[in-house]
Structure 1
């Protein structure tokens, strides 16, 4: 039941070890002219790794993170780390922000600045991510995490709260809403057409419900096929062999950097802060959470613990929106719905002001 203050304080030998490992990276060769068609280009990653080693300032990033009140508590045998940024307005609605993969709580720092006057912001680290480590047993799926979030909000003394998430965080947010509708004011999630198409490939019978002769459905089917042919390997490895992949992620900072940076490059449409990306990667590296984060996806794939559908008000923000978005997401009647032409999978970093405006609009009606 204890909630204890937490400060990020990475030992200097660990910081020095990172610089040493980056300097001794054994780089692979690369075929000429292949660009991005076979993975992350060598030149791109070498330049980013060089900046991580010599330009990026971890201690400055650490100080920025420590500007937010942080805590840890144990729930269901698992250490849970979270930020808790209270609004100056005592009557503000509490709002839980849940990150996805491959990300961390640091994804939301710009968004927190946009929201902190209007909400009491709670940002937990998913089990197995960053400082919500180590994970000592199997079974930490979205559903179990949702139950931990419910307990966390109870411990914080909040009997009514809102939820927001994207990627895995959207699943957790939806599961919390389904389990704790008595206390949840509403749930808001973000997506983009490519993520929606990828998600649709896992919904039984979804392809059969789309009409290939309809131009919108044809585009959706093409994107689903593209995901299966070109992008599903990233997820398939984690869903089947996370431990094997963990040896690479835990021993090579260049490997951990490449694994995350490719996802950001392929899943963003607007510029994002390179230092913020490296803070996220650094959190994975310093906590050794690459393998435990990947295991979270394995657990979900094998447990299929999705929980009950939410019955509370729902809101959706679609970034990089096009004609397929509403068809693939299938929002319930009367749901809050906004579409934005730019931005994609990480809107809290790509378009924090736009996302904050949507959150204020949706939850403002529910406050």
Structure 2
């Protein structure tokens, strides 16, 4: 375990500035706005700010206010942030897990608000400053890597875990696989339950699944590409910073609770800091590996690899194994997608907290950090009693 400082070489920033200055814009779309993808006028404004107003060195200084480390965990080097409790009282530590297209940066507001406990925020393998995993289907190793980070590297014997998006999938799997280590699991995306043939669904569950199929048709072309042909967009996005910004920022607008006005929720600097963490590390392509490995976003469609026992269960692409439920105390905070509680109860044997939130979206840790931090704190305080 070695201390780590975020410090991008000047040559990388100079190359970025050159590429931004030579951005080749597409011909104007025949239907302006966001309906067909990223609005070009907004993207032009964002790139102009990136060139003339955004200071990466200032953002580096902000990131480096936190204690960063890198450590080899079972053969893979992970980057992680540790925020120690201000007044250590023997409270259970928390592991916070980010998703896509996000980074550890999104979760830093939670760490600032959970100051009564130790907080650990790793970067997913292949994201940011964490090394990628080697080998096809290697993403199945992520829960075990996180367990190793907490126990073998940091020395915790038991911990709570929170996750959103892919981070929720990791959290759910780790809770399923290692209930001896995980005292409780808090997520914004419930695990996918296994349904026995002929299982009767409530009206609310049927409506939820219908709506999910519709939303997948409208908004998950990116996921289909990332899980079936990930190398193709990786080549393009690794070469064009404007293209990378378009690919990421579209999701931050579509999935957040911003009413179509992205800067109602995020500043340009926040958006570009996220984009930069992918750009300066050249990790957009390796971030797609989880989609390839887990066949994400195919809940109600035929699996890309049917009957493949290497597909991890309980994530969005595949249900929990038959007869299995997550046994540890569980909590779900609902922001972006509103599953019925009975759907989640099929996956969790001990669902203790169910919190439909009044506002916030997919990036809840940055959109509504107070709401989310309070929910996490109250749940784990109850678990510890």
User: What's the TM-score once normalised by structure 2's chain length?
Assistant: 0.85
Counterpart-to-counterpart distance in 1, 2:196 and 2:11: 53
Query: Helix, strand or coil for the counterpart of 2:188?
Result: strand
Contact 2:255 2:336 in 1 (8 A): no
Q: Does 2:365 correspond to 1:348?
A: yes
- 1:41-65 CA-partner distances (Å, limit 9, x unpaired): 1112111121122211111111111
Q: How does 1:212-361 map to 2 (within 5 A)?
A: 214=203, 216-217=204-205, 219-270=207-258, 271-301=265-295, 303-306=310-313, 309-319=325-335, 324-330=339-345, 332=349, 334-361=351-378
- 1:309-344 CA-partner distances (Å, limit 9, x unpaired): 42110011012576x543544454542111112111
Partner of 2:187: 189
Contact 1:210 1:221 in 2 (8 A): no
| Superposition deviation, residue 134 in structure 1 | 4.3
| Superposition deviation, residue 104 in structure 1 | 0.6
Query: Helix, strand or coil for the counterpart of 2:77?
Result: strand
Match of 2:64 among 63, 66, 77: 66
Counterpart-to-counterpart distance in 2, 1:86 and 1:290: 30
Counterpart-to-counterpart distance in 1, 2:26 and 2:198: 39
Q: How does 1:141-156 map to 2 (within 5 A)?
A: 141=139, 143-154=140-151, 155-156=153-154
| Superposition deviation, residue 222 in structure 1 | 3.9
Structure number with higher helix proportion: 1
| Superposition deviation, residue 174 in structure 1 | 1.0
| Superposition deviation, residue 188 in structure 1 | 0.2
| Superposition deviation, residue 278 in structure 1 | 1.3
Q: How does 1:20-31 map to 2 (within 5 A)?
A: 20-31=18-29
Cα 1:178–1:217, aligned 2, differ >3 Å: closer, same or farther? Answer: closer
Counterpart-to-counterpart distance in 1, 2:78 and 2:35: 39
Cα 1:46–1:39, aligned 2, differ >3 Å: closer, same or farther? Answer: same
The number of equivalent residue pairs is 352
Counterpart-to-counterpart distance in 1, 2:11 and 2:375: 43
- 1:84-131 CA-partner distances (Å, limit 9, x unpaired): 11112321321000000111111112111111x211000001000000
Structure 2 residue ranges without an equivalent (≥5): 259-264, 296-304, 315-323
- Aligned-residue Cα RMSD (Å) equals 2.4
Cα 1:225–1:296, aligned 2, differ >3 Å: closer, same or farther? Answer: closer
Counterpart-to-counterpart distance in 2, 1:315 and 1:299: 26
Contact 1:165 1:171 in 2 (8 A): yes
Partner of 1:39: 37
Counterpart-to-counterpart distance in 1, 2:334 and 2:195: 23
Counterpart-to-counterpart distance in 2, 1:8 and 1:127: 17
Q: Does 2:92 correspond to 1:93?
A: yes
Q: Bigger shift: 11-20 or 279-288?
A: 11-20
Partner of 1:124: 122
Query: Helix, strand or coil for the counterpart of 2:280?
Result: helix
Query: Helix, strand or coil for the counterpart of 2:33?
Result: coil
Contact 1:187 1:315 in 2 (8 A): yes
Counterpart-to-counterpart distance in 1, 2:28 and 2:341: 40
Structure 1 residue ranges without an equivalent (≥5): none
